[in-house]
Structure 1
């Protein structure tokens, strides 16, 4: 017996398996090698979605269905190895959302955590629990679990952003709840920018007590994050596997900004090629600036701004930047770390 081989199947054993199957029993020794694997084994495949093609499809959808009728006009990014499951990785969902000028995506709330990463357009807004924030290119926006939220576009141009949610994770635990607000937009009772001023200036209200796991900041403007990377690159401290990579944090405790999804922003200087790296957290990447290529398990994917690609769990990956490049990414690393499951391999580094 081993972890990689099944015991031989004899006629007597097959007859026994058939007999106990009628009572919903299965012998562990017949399936152990497929459920407890020496290394991660996943249907998730490397893949890249071209943003120009995606935008054309979204705009066509904009002529077919309204944001209100659709509730959320989104094209799901389905991993080719898991078609029909609404997954980009085994634990995460991703989609591209379109809100046309003058539209509102109606208010609702749900158990799932959500992130938005703005890819196209400027000046639309998201409202979360009574506060609106303007959405601009590269902004990272959070919708915490069970937070009322709606999206509106009062500009003259379509707005497109990437949605990332923990839908498969929540479904795995049978913990999904959702409800509509009743009106398209929730009432706004907080001034715009209140959360960032209250929690994002290296201060907290004097008697603040953390009640929820998500960051109390729900918009991390790209302008501020990009400026931080620009300042730090002058130090020249490049990680061989990541270049300069930072994680978005919850200012209350310094932990990840979201309880189940770990978001990151990294900079690769022109001509930089990362050392080989692999980790157990399958990761979704979005080039924000620059162009280059990523090699995943021997497959090469050429990318430019706004394209989206996915790196499955425990597959070797390297990035190479033709120009100075900035990559946004997210994974389930925070959940894996909390459960003691996360593992990484930095090769010879």
Structure 2
């Protein structure tokens, strides 16, 4: 070691005693030329993980667990309970006759229904029945509980901004005194009131979330297939639509951007990458997702994570429908978001 380097190391050691560190030794890693996400591309095949989800009911009830969920933990982030640097994902199971007790928290949550029909979630005083492909919002700090009054299990994907809220040290939660919070509005009220191209006169939103909290897949699917009759798919995205807040036309949620896309049978996208890491869920059809040098064959209900700033392409063997969520909306608001089309 040279004399200069020896003197520097001695200086660094003395500075460390005062909780000081030299930026110049860390600058390139703190401010790299391009994103270097810690998460990695990974696929959870539903046919492989479903048995574990169902078996979890043999070990714990929804009431005892509060939320009986198997976390989808990114292999690059082991021990973190994260699917990306800023997002959480898990598969939740509720069995016939069960209620997952009511609580609220500062984290925003989404549910994307995977399997089963007719179980419900109650959000801020309204109960909604859930069907496969439905996208359901639980806004920040709203009491919510889940129940299953059918005779079959119900499975859905939970997506939350837990790591993002933790970054700001703004995590709060509160349990409701009983398992079920009061239901004060009829089922379908929010969709009828806000989701039909109409708004009550004088309505003023008191939330950053869409007032519609269940976007039924039946409507979404019809809209996607109608698009195929009037225009060609985008070369990089297919028929890509975003879920919107009908009050202002913005994203449906303030921290998580949610989208749905249709790729017609045989269609292949050109390469695309963006700064947001995204979680994809296969709704219908089969195909493949190429992320860098890795190929993932897609089947219904599979979940795949695409790290930010990694180029990917999609190919549809059948008509392929994909739901996705990412932190794009937060990045856009902060001026960070970038994309590149190849």
TM-score scaled by length of structure 2: 0.98
Q: In the TM superposition, what is the alpha-carbon distance from 1:43 to its structure 2 partner?
A: 1.0
User: Which residue pairs with 1:259 in the alignment?
Assistant: 254
CA distance in 2 between counterparts of 1:59 and 1:312 reads: 28
Specify the SS of the correspondent of 1:19: helix
1:170 aligns with 2:165: yes
CA distance in 2 between counterparts of 1:53 and 1:317 reads: 24
User: Which residue pairs with 1:25 in the alignment?
Assistant: 20
CA distance in 2 between counterparts of 1:100 and 1:210 reads: 35
Specify the SS of the correspondent of 1:141: strand
User: Which residue pairs with 1:207 in the alignment?
Assistant: 202
1:248 aligns with 2:243: yes
Specify the SS of the correspondent of 1:98: strand
User: Which residue pairs with 2:53 in the alignment?
Assistant: 58
Unmatched 5+ residue regions in structure 2? Answer: none
User: Which residue pairs with 1:328 in the alignment?
Assistant: 323
Match of 2:121 among 117, 126, 132: 126
Q: In the TM superposition, what is the alpha-carbon distance from 1:340 to its structure 2 partner?
A: 0.3
CA distance in 1 between counterparts of 2:285 and 2:11 reads: 61
User: Which residue pairs with 2:298 in the alignment?
Assistant: 303
1:87 aligns with 2:87: no
Residue deviations 1:254-289, cap 9 Å, x none?
A: 000000000000000111110000000100001101
Change (3 A) 1:9 1:153: farther
CA distance in 2 between counterparts of 1:35 and 1:86 reads: 24
1:72 aligns with 2:77: no
Q: In the TM superposition, what is the alpha-carbon distance from 1:211 to its structure 2 partner?
A: 1.3
User: Which residue pairs with 2:186 in the alignment?
Assistant: 191
User: Which residue pairs with 1:5 in the alignment?
Assistant: none
Please report the RMSD computed on the Cα atoms of aligned residues, expressed in angstroms. 0.9
Aligned length, in residue pairs: 340
1:235 aligns with 2:235: no
Specify the SS of the correspondent of 2:110: strand
Runs of 4+ in structure 1 deviating by more than 4 angstroms, as ranges, are none
1:117 aligns with 2:143: no
CA distance in 2 between counterparts of 1:326 and 1:234 reads: 16
Change (3 A) 1:109 1:9: farther
CA distance in 2 between counterparts of 1:56 and 1:18 reads: 53
Unmatched 5+ residue regions in structure 1? Answer: 1-7
CA distance in 2 between counterparts of 1:292 and 1:230 reads: 18
User: Which residue pairs with 2:335 in the alignment?
Assistant: 340
Q: In the TM superposition, what is the alpha-carbon distance from 1:9 to its structure 2 partner?
A: 7.5
